[in-house]
């Protein structure tokens, strides 16, 4: 965590997202209905799904913050991945509804030109979504929270869909009457993409996909700097939401005593947890090797 304020920001971000998404969904839907903009109505439905997703995130973060216990020795962080999957399903359903409605309107040949107020409302919604995206992304990265990252992805989708709606509205003003309906269809495609992306991230977390290659390489480099470590055989990792645990197997000279190997292991645990914020637990296993054979002598 870069700043001490990040933890407080992480607690408030999902709450503000929920309230913000509820407010902006009502705003978009109301203005869309009053001005006759199908794109803005579709974007409002999308924001409703975002609000539901933010509620899932709030619940998940509350549960994941519980301390480790005998029944959950690795903590409750996995709930964040379940929250991400649940949110993705809601968003996918929302995208399907938007797409079907847009397809129906396009086939029926509806050519309603929305009022100018729809453009102003879409610009305001775009600014709001972008501010939520930057805030949630910052908190998510600093806290390494999958649930907050999912919330940020939703805000990003909101920003992209608002741009699509804005272009559709502009299109209606320059003579393309069905541009707004096409924009609603484009909105659904954006939302489909985001929902699938979120779903895969959630599944990857549940099946213990390894940490990024760069992080694994960094762990190996940190281990090799410890005196007495002759090599690193393997590094295995598993993440439980915001925090991860790693298993490290190192080579030590067969002449090392049990006490010295224990000291090496403690140094490794300390240096990894101090240098990589998302790791809070390190398990070290040492295997003896013939140092002379290791040197090739």
Residue range 272-289: mean pLDDT, rounded: 87
DSSP secondary structure of 170-225: HHHHTT-TTHHHHHHHHHHHHHHHHHHHHHHHHHHHHTTPPPPHHHHHHHHHHHHT
Q: Is the pLDDT of residue 76 over 70?
A: yes
Per-residue pLDDT band for 111 (boundaries 50, 70, 90) equals low
pLDDT digits (tens, 9 = 90+) for 197-230: 888 888 887 877 778 888 899 999 999 999 999 9
The residue count of the chain comes to 297
Task: Give pLDDT, residue 112.
Answer: 62
Task: Give pLDDT, residue 286.
Answer: 92
Task: Give pLDDT, residue 28.
Answer: 86
Task: Give pLDDT, residue 264.
Answer: 92
CB 94 within 8 A of CB 72: no
Q: Which helix (H) or strand (E) holds 282?
A: strand 279-289
Task: Give pLDDT, residue 291.
Answer: 64
CB 67 within 8 A of CB 75: yes
Task: Give pLDDT, residue 252.
Answer: 92
Instruction: Return the closest-CA partner of residue 184 out of 124, 122, 132.
Output: 122
CB 49 within 8 A of CB 194: no
Per-residue pLDDT band for 251 (boundaries 50, 70, 90) equals very high
Task: Give pLDDT, residue 295.
Answer: 46
List of domains in the chain: 5-206 (1.20.1510.10), 213-294 (3.30.70.1350)
d(CA 22, CA 179): 27
Helix (H, G, I), strand (E, B) or coil at 65: coil
The region of weakest confidence among 15-24, 117-126, 149-158, 275-284 is: 149-158
- Give the DSSP letter of residue 68: P
Task: Give pLDDT, residue 259.
Answer: 92
- Give the DSSP letter of residue 124: H
Query: What angle do helix axes 146-173 and 38-64 make, rounded to 10 degrees?
Result: 170
pLDDT digits (tens, 9 = 90+) for 184-195: 777 778 778 878
Give the chain's radius of gyration (CA, Å): 25
Q: Is the pLDDT of residue 46 over 80?
A: no
Residue range 15-40: mean pLDDT, rounded: 84
Task: Write down the pTM of the prediction.
Answer: 0.63
Q: Is the pLDDT of residue 262 over 90?
A: yes
d(CA 171, CA 169): 5
Residue 188's CB is within 10 A of a number of other CB atoms, namely 25
């Amino acid at each position: 965590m870069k700043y001490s304020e990040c933890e407080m920001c992480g607690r408030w971000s999902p709450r503000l997202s929920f309230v913000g998404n509820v407010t902006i969904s009502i705003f978009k839907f109301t203005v869309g209905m009053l001005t006759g903009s199908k794109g803005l109505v579709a974007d409002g439905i999308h924001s409703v799904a975002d609000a539901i997703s933010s509620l899932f995130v709030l619940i998940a973060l509350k549960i994941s913050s519980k301390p480790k216990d005998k029944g959950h020795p690795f903590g409750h962080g996995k709930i964040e991945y379940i929250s991400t999957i649940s949110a993705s399903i809601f968003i996918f359903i929302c995208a399907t509804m938007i797409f079907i409605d847009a397809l129906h309107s396009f086939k029926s040949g509806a050519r309603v030109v929305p009022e100018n107020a729809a453009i102003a409302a879409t610009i305001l919604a775009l600014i709001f979504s972008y501010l939520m995206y930057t805030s949630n992304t910052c908190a998510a990265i600093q806290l390494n929270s999958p649930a907050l990252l999912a919330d940020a992805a939703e805000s990003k989708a909101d920003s992209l869909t608002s741009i699509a709606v804005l272009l559709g509205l502009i299109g209606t003003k320059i003579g393309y009457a069905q541009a707004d309906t096409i924009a609603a269809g484009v909105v659904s495609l954006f939302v489909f993409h985001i929902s699938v992306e979120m779903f895969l991230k959630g599944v990857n977390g549940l099946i213990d996909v390894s940490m990024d290659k760069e992080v694994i390489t960094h762990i190996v480099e940190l281990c090799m700097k410890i005196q007495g470590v002759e090599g690193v055989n393997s590094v295995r990792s598993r993440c439980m939401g915001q925090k991860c645990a790693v298993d490290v197997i190192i080579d030590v000279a067969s002449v090392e005593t049990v006490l010295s190997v224990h000291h090496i292991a403690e140094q490794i645990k300390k240096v990894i947890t101090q240098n990589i914020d998302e790791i809070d637990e390190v398990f070290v296993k040492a295997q003896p090797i013939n140092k002379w054979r290791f040197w090739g002598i």
